[in-house]
Structure 1
Amino acid sequence: MAKARRRRVRDTWKEKKWYVIKSPKLFGENEIGTTPSRDPDFLLKRRVEATMRELTGDFSKQYVKLKFQIDSVAGSEATTRFIGHQVTTDYVRSMIRRGTSRVDAPVIVETKDGYKLKVHPLAITIRRAKSSQQKYMRQSIEEHLREIASEKTFEELVEGIVTGKIASEIYHQAKKIYPLKRVEIIKSRVLEEPA
């Protein structure tokens, strides 16, 4: 009786090499993390998330999650590009109270240098607002955001979104319509890059 031949299992884990993932220049080219890969080409288009606290050390921005995508690999370093951000849901829920209105105004904007982004600002009123007031506020926020984006480059816009400068500009513009408690840009996503 013939014995069954044992196949030798190839350990693919030993073939892998570790790569350091770096944030874009806009965020100081800090180390986000490390990842293993057999081939550097397999790293391309991988997505990585990091909080603002991890990149800047600022605990007050713990709730901001930044999204990056690996776009090039040189040696054992993988560089990334910014593809969007999001605010954690628990932070958004903590802002909303009973008797207030939540005004969402998602808008697609284009920067001075040709980038297209979808930006999602959120305004929270002090008291419940009428639907007509909410509609007017939404229109005002969208127009103001388009105007701001058209005057800024991609990097300036991203910096303004992540740091909250643009949200405060929107707040000062929209509070003329109805008293606001807070304005926050809760989400952004890069839709198109210039060719």
Structure 2
Amino acid sequence: MAKARRRVRDTWREKSWYTIKTPVEFGEKEIGSTPARDPEFLPGRTVDVTMRELTGDFSKQYIKLHFEIDNVAGTVANTKFTGHKITTDRIRSMIRRGTSRIDAPVIVTTKDDREIKVHVLAVTSRRAKSSQQKFMRETIENLVAESASEKSFKEFIDVLTSGKLASEIYHNAKKIYPLNRVEIIKSKVFN
């Protein structure tokens, strides 16, 4: 007596594809697509995109932007910016023997009350004393907090990811101690 074969449900056929778009701050560009059986399952999914993929600028290949799907309208999944990170190989290439690495993580609030954690990395041209490092860290934290308090969330994200804030910090902090480079290596949006 032959057993009747049970039909296996093909769940892939039940899924629809949704286009993922960046938030308004990044020009609502298409950054991918994702399948889902129901649009309710999409919010909360994360997408990582390099800055080069968004802008076409190959020199920004090392910047990874993090987006999270916020809402779905038809077949379009809209995202919100949740932070960014710089690749570890880029960070390693910045630090050399005989230099000092100064990490300055700081939580700032923008003009429109959005909280962001910003992690700034400054690399000196030669080894700095701990007192100089402490003063440099305090200066960097003050510069970032001041910049955030003057700008809206959209404006602050723009200067954060474009490198303008890092350049501003570099030009103000190099007066304290000679610097090789300043980079914002990480950011995270809280609310």
Normalized against structure 1, the TM-score is what?
0.95
Provide the aligned length of Structure 1 versus Structure 2.
191
Aligned to 2:98: 99
Aligned to 1:142: 141
Aligned to 1:158: 157
Hey, what's the Cα distance between the residues in 2 that align with 1:93 and 1:65?
Answer: 16
Work out the percentage of aligned pairs sharing the same amino acid. 66
Gaps of 5+ in 2: none
Letter matched to residue 186 of structure 2: K
Aligned to 2:30: 31
Deviation digits for residues 111-142 of structure 1 (CA, Å, limit 9, x no counterpart): 00010000000000000111111011001111
Aligned to 1:130: 129
Hey, what's the Cα distance between the residues in 2 that align with 1:143 and 1:165?
Answer: 16
Hey, what's the Cα distance between the residues in 2 that align with 1:84 and 1:40?
Answer: 24
CA drift at 1:3 = 4.6
RMSD: 0.9
Hey, what's the Cα distance between the residues in 2 that align with 1:30 and 1:172?
Answer: 33
Q: Please say if 1:84 is aligned against 2:80.
A: no
Indicate the SS of the match to 2:9. coil
Letter matched to residue 126 of structure 2: R
Hey, what's the Cα distance between the residues in 2 that align with 1:24 and 1:172?
Answer: 31
Gaps of 5+ in 1: none
CA drift at 1:4 = 3.8
Aligned to 1:8: 7
Letter matched to residue 190 of structure 1: V
CA drift at 1:6 = 2.7
Indicate the SS of the match to 1:106. strand
Aligned to 2:107: 108
Hey, what's the Cα distance between the residues in 1 that align with 2:15 and 2:67?
Answer: 22
